[in-house]
């Protein structure tokens, strides 16, 4: 066991000299062996150790016995000890979740709190055997490549020194060092799915392959490596969407990358974790180039042609009538619309405008400066508002007047956000529309002296959904 633990510590860079470690100590063989082993490294790594035991109030006198044992075990090893008690059955009933899930949430919550207060890492006693059980558990429920990775050796500030060890290694270590430990009677009950895997499924698998644990361990390592590579590609696709709003890379990506990119967007920007069915539904919409998907947390995925939006349903459900009377007088600086969008207004001279346009041309970028700049010299009685019945617009360079409805259709702007698109009106004429650009009558010309640069983007309208702002 010592050799495998040292291999895990070195391979996954679990420890540094001077680390403080919060040790989750149940009193069972795994956690007792782990704490004993970490104690043997105290001088080598200058470690400070503290053990935490949680009484879940499930097993009555047996649980109190385990708590007393854990305290005495720590005293013998000269390790600081803290005991916490949580009524898991009552809390689980209140939350409507299972005892196992509730106990896990409570334990990790206590570990994280203690680690934060002590600036420490957290060591849990998960083994290769636990990881293999987790893989089977995920497979039975239906999982992606990510589910085959099992339990990660390191996750944030959590380390698992026993992750390369099997239970037989732990038991041999305890026997060799004369370590006593407690046995949780619930581990022998087949009422829990994980116990059924351990007590029934794995013995059958060993009949087919006595080395099934090692075999599944290799599968997990391979799956983890492949998944990490695909996630790197997906992160690049998601980042391109975050920065430019251009969905082409996302739409054109292969499905393994697309699914992970969609998951990354939801996780990192919306702070939600969609189910696999949500990912499949979003990819189906992308295939059709239209559609919407209701996501957790009242969020919404929308696609119209090649435009993809993530936003908040309550945000979009607000009726246009709530905004039709909004007006904001024009003035340089910042203007915040009722939807939460920030519009930044800057006045620059014509030379600066020409310089910015040339930079865009050289870089081969979209003509954002041209689209969002208008002739400041001719602005009169100006203000921002949303669309109104009968609005018409003549885009710079086109010279053709169109209704806003027709223009929005051509630009494939989703119906759901059209009532939130701001425009600048000057002396009764529309001078600029967010996402579309300047009007022909207000475009910058050779006679222009001062230029109004309107820094705003159509994607900003969905900022309440979290896609641009955390």
Condensed to tens digits (0 to 9), the pLDDT of residues 195-214 reads 888 888 899 999 999 999 99
DSSP letter for each residue of 60-102 = THHHHHHHHHHHHHHHHHT-EEEEEE--HHHHHHHHT--HHHH
Domain assignment of residue 412, given as a range: 320-465
pLDDT tens digits for 422-462? 999 999 999 999 988 899 999 999 899 999 999 887 766 65
pLDDT tens digits for 73-93? 999 999 999 999 989 899 988
Same domain? For 295 and 324 the reply is no
> What pLDDT is attached to residue 245?
67
- Residue 110 zone, left/alpha/beta (φ > 0; ψ -120 to 50; rest): alpha
Same domain? For 94 and 174 the reply is yes
pLDDT tens digits for 21-32? 999 999 999 999
Q: How far apart are CA 54 and CA 106, in angstroms?
A: 9
Rounded to the nearest 10°, the torsion over CA 182, 185, 188, 193 is -110
> What pLDDT is attached to residue 337?
86
Is 53 within 8 Å of 27 (Cβ atoms)?
Answer: yes
pLDDT band at 464 (very low <50, low <70, confident <90, very high): very low
Q: Which of 357, 380, 370, 375 is nearest to 447 (CA)?
A: 375
Query: In this structure, is residue 340 part of a structural domain?
Result: yes
Cα radius of gyration rounded to whole Å, the chain:
30
Per-residue tokens: 234: 């997906």
Same domain? For 264 and 207 the reply is no
Q: What is the mean pLDDT of residues 267-274?
A: 85
Residue 47 in this model has a pLDDT that exceeds 80: yes
Q: Which of 404, 411, 452 is nearest to 430 (CA)?
A: 404
Which of 299, 316, 333 is the endpoint of a domain? 316
> What pLDDT is attached to residue 366?
66
> What pLDDT is attached to residue 78?
96
Which of 276, 291, 316 is the endpoint of a domain? 316
Same domain? For 27 and 115 the reply is yes
Per-residue tokens: 444: 């910058």
Q: What is the mean pLDDT of residues 43-58?
A: 94
Per-residue tokens: 117: 């207060």
What is the CATH classification number for the domain harbouring 67? Answer: 3.40.50.620
Q: What is the mean pLDDT of residues 53-66?
A: 88
Residue 469 in this model has a pLDDT that exceeds 60: no
> What pLDDT is attached to residue 241?
84
Contact partners, residue 38, CB within 8 Å, separation at least 6: 21, 23, 47, 49, 123, 161
Query: In this structure, is residue 125 part of a structural domain?
Result: yes
DSSP letter for each residue of 349-399 = EHHHHHHHHHHHHHHT---HHHHHEEEGGG--SEEEE---TT-EEEBTTT-
What is the CATH classification number for the domain harbouring 269? Answer: 3.30.465
Mean pLDDT of all residues belonging to the chain:
87
> What pLDDT is attached to residue 304?
72
Same domain? For 66 and 206 the reply is yes
Per-residue tokens: 247: 């969905």
> What pLDDT is attached to residue 318?
55
Query: In this structure, is residue 237 part of a structural domain?
Result: no
> What pLDDT is attached to residue 5?
96
Is 250 within 8 Å of 242 (Cβ atoms)?
Answer: no
Same domain? For 172 and 256 the reply is no
How many other CB atoms sit within 10 Å of the CB of residue 55? 17
Counted domains in the chain: 3
Q: What is the mean pLDDT of residues 311-324?
A: 61
Is 68 within 8 Å of 81 (Cβ atoms)?
Answer: no
Q: What is the mean pLDDT of residues 261-280?
A: 89
Query: In this structure, is residue 235 part of a structural domain?
Result: no
Question: Strand 80-85 relative to strand 121-123: parallel, antiparallel, unpaired?
Answer: unpaired
Q: How far apart are CA 51 and CA 120, in angstroms?
A: 12
Q: How far apart are CA 178 and CA 232, in angstroms?
A: 46
- Whole-model pTM above 0.75? no
Same domain? For 325 and 294 the reply is no
Same domain? For 12 and 143 the reply is yes
């Amino acid at each position: 066991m010592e050799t495998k633990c040292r291999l895990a510590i070195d391979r996954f860079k679990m420890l540094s000299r001077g680390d403080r470690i919060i040790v989750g100590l149940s009193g069972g063989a795994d956690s007792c062996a782990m704490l004993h082993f970490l104690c043997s490294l105290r001088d080598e790594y200058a470690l400070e150790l503290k053990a935490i035991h949680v009484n879940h109030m499930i097993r009555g006198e047996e649980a109190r016995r385990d708590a007393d044992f854990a305290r005495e075990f720590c005293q013998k090893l000269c390790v600081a000890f803290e005991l916490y008690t949580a009524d898991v059955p009552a809390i689980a009933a209140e939350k409507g979740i299972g005892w196992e899930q509730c106990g896990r949430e409570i334990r990790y919550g206590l570990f994280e709190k203690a680690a934060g207060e002590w600036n420490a890492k957290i060591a849990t006693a998960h083994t290769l055997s636990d990881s293999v059980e987790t893989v089977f558990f995920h497979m039975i429920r239906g999982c992606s490549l990510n589910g085959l990775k099992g339990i990660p050796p390191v996750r944030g500030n959590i380390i698992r020194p026993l992750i390369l060890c099997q239970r037989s290694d732990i038991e041999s270590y305890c026997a060799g060092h004369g370590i006593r430990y407690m046995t949780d009677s619930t581990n022998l009950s087949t009422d829990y799915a994980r116990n059924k895997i351990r007590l029934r499924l794995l013995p059958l698998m060993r009949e087919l392959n006595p080395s099934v644990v090692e075999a599944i361990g290799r599968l997990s390592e391979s799956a983890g490596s492949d998944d990490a590579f695909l996630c790197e590609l997906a992160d690049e696709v998601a980042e391109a969407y975050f920065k430019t709003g251009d969905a082409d890379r996302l739409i054109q990506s292969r499905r393994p990358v697309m699914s992970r990119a969609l998951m990354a967007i939801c996780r990192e920007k919306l702070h939600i974790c969609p189910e696999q069915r949500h990912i499949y539904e979003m990819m189906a919409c992308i295939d059709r180039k239209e559609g919407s998907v209701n996501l957790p947390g009242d969020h919404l995925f929308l696609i119209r042609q090649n435009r993809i939006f993530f936003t908040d349903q309550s945000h979009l459900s607000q009726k246009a009538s709530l905004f039709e009377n909004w007006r904001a007088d024009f003035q340089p600086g910042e203007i915040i619309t009722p939807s939460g969008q920030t519009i930044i207004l800057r006045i620059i001279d014509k030379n600066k405008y020409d310089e910015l346009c040339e930079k865009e041309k050289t870089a081969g970028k979209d003509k954002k400066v041209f689209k969002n700049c208008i002739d400041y010299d001719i602005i009169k009685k100006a203000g921002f508002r949303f669309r109104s019945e009968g609005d018409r617009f003549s885009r710079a360079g086109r010279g053709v007047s169109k209704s806003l409805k027709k223009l929005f259709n051509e630009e494939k702007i989703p119906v759901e956000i059209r009532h939130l698109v701001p425009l600048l009106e000057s002396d009764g004429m529309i001078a600029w529309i967010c996402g579309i650009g300047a009007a022909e009558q207000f475009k910058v010309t050779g006679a222009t002296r001062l230029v109004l640069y309107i820094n705003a983007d159509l994607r900003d309208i969905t900022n309440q959904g979290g896609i641009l702002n955390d």
